[in-house]
């Protein structure tokens, strides 16, 4: 979870803060209204991607039960 938050913080571009300053927003206002929303969006995306990866792995494991690799026969006999 910490890695997801770190990646979300790193994904907010420094140009976003410059853009809020150029339209006259104070630093605290820009952090609360713009940068925090971008951070939440990025973290949400990364978190949901991680959750979906885990779910996909479990689904693949569930449906691959009982299958054997190509060229292998049951019981070691050919």
Q: Which of 11, 66, 20, 72 is nearest to 41 (CA)?
A: 11
Is 75 among the domain residues? no
The model's confidence at residue 54, banded by pLDDT at 50, 70 and 90, is very high
Q: Which of 24-28, 41-45, 57-61 has the highest mean pLDDT?
A: 57-61
Contact status, residue 35 vs residue 15, Cβ threshold 8 Å:
no
Residue 66, in any domain of the structure: no
Q: How far is CA 69 from CA 19, 23, 28, 29, 77, in A?
A: 56, 61, 59, 59, 14
Residue 68 pLDDT > 70? no
**Structural domain for 42, as ranges:** 2-61
Task: Establish if 77 belongs to a structural domain.
Answer: no
Average pLDDT estimate for 47-57: 93
Q: Has residue 78 got a pLDDT over 90?
A: no
Q: In this model, does residue 56 exceed pLDDT 90?
A: yes
**Residue 68 falls inside a structural domain:** no
How many domains, the chain? 1
Tell me the pTM.
0.50
């Amino acid at each position: 979870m910490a890695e997801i938050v770190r990646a979300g913080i790193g994904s907010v571009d420094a140009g976003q803060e410059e853009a809020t300053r150029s339209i006259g927003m104070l630093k605290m206002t820009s952090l609360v209204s713009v940068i925090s929303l971008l951070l939440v969006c990025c973290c949400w995306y990364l978190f949901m991607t991680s959750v979906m990866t885990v779910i996909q792995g479990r689904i693949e494991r569930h449906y691959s039960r009982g299958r054997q690799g190509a060229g292998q026969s049951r019981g070691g006999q050919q």
